[in-house]
Structure 1
Amino acid sequence: MDYFIIVVTTATGLYFHWWIYWRIRRWMDRDLALSLAGNDPAKRTYILERLEEAKRQRVKRRDLPQWLQRAADDYRAA
């Protein structure tokens, strides 16, 4: 029974750490996108849509800031 408790506790702890890690990454990506959008509600919607598009295209995390910056620049040009 002791081993069962140890395994369950360890698995639960690992799952929680994995979950919080991915949650924080999503918050950071969203915060980055919203910081590029400023206070304009239409631009916020546009940038958040571009963030979803970047996720669908599997843009690497190291390339995401530049990708979103180009999207924000495209919004200004339009």
Structure 2
Amino acid sequence: MDYFIIFITTAAGLYFHWWLFIRIRRWSDRDLALSMAEGDAGKRAYMLEQLAKAQAEKIRRSDLPEWLQQAAGNYRP
């Protein structure tokens, strides 16, 4: 019974850390996109759309800042 408790506790801890890691990555990506919106509500919505597009196209996280910067440059109000 002790091994079962240890296994369940370890599995729950690992799952929680994985979930937290993924959430923090999503928050930081969203914050990056919103930081390029420069307070403009229209550009904010546009940048969130571009972030969703980048995620759909599976842009690597290392390439994401450049990709979003280029998308921000293409914004037309």
TM range (shorter): over 0.9
Match of 2:25 in 1: 25
d(CA) in 1 for partners of 2:38, 2:73: 13
Q: What secondary structure, in the 3-state scheme, does the structure 1 residue paired with 2:58 have? A: coil
Query: What is the rounded CA distance, in whole Å, between the counterparts of 1:69 and 1:52 in structure 2?
Result: 14
Identity %: 62
Are positions 1:67 and 2:67 aligned together? yes
Post-superposition CA distance 1:28-47 (Å, at most 9, x none): 00000000001100000000
Find the aligned partners of 1:10 and 1:34 in 2 and give their Cα distance. 36
| 1:1-78 aligned within 5 A | 1-76=1-76
How far residue 72 of structure 1 moved from its aligned partner, in angstroms, is: 0.2
Please, what TM-score do these two structures have when normalized by structure 1? Answer: 0.96
In structure 2, distance between residues paired with 1:56 and 1:19: 20
Q: Distance in 2 between matches of 1:39 and 1:58?
A: 27
Alignment RMSD, CA only?
A: 0.9
Unaligned runs of 5+ in 1: none
Q: TM-score, normalised by structure 2?
A: 0.97
For these two proteins, the number of residue pairs brought into alignment is 77
Q: Distance in 1 between matches of 2:34 and 2:58?
A: 19
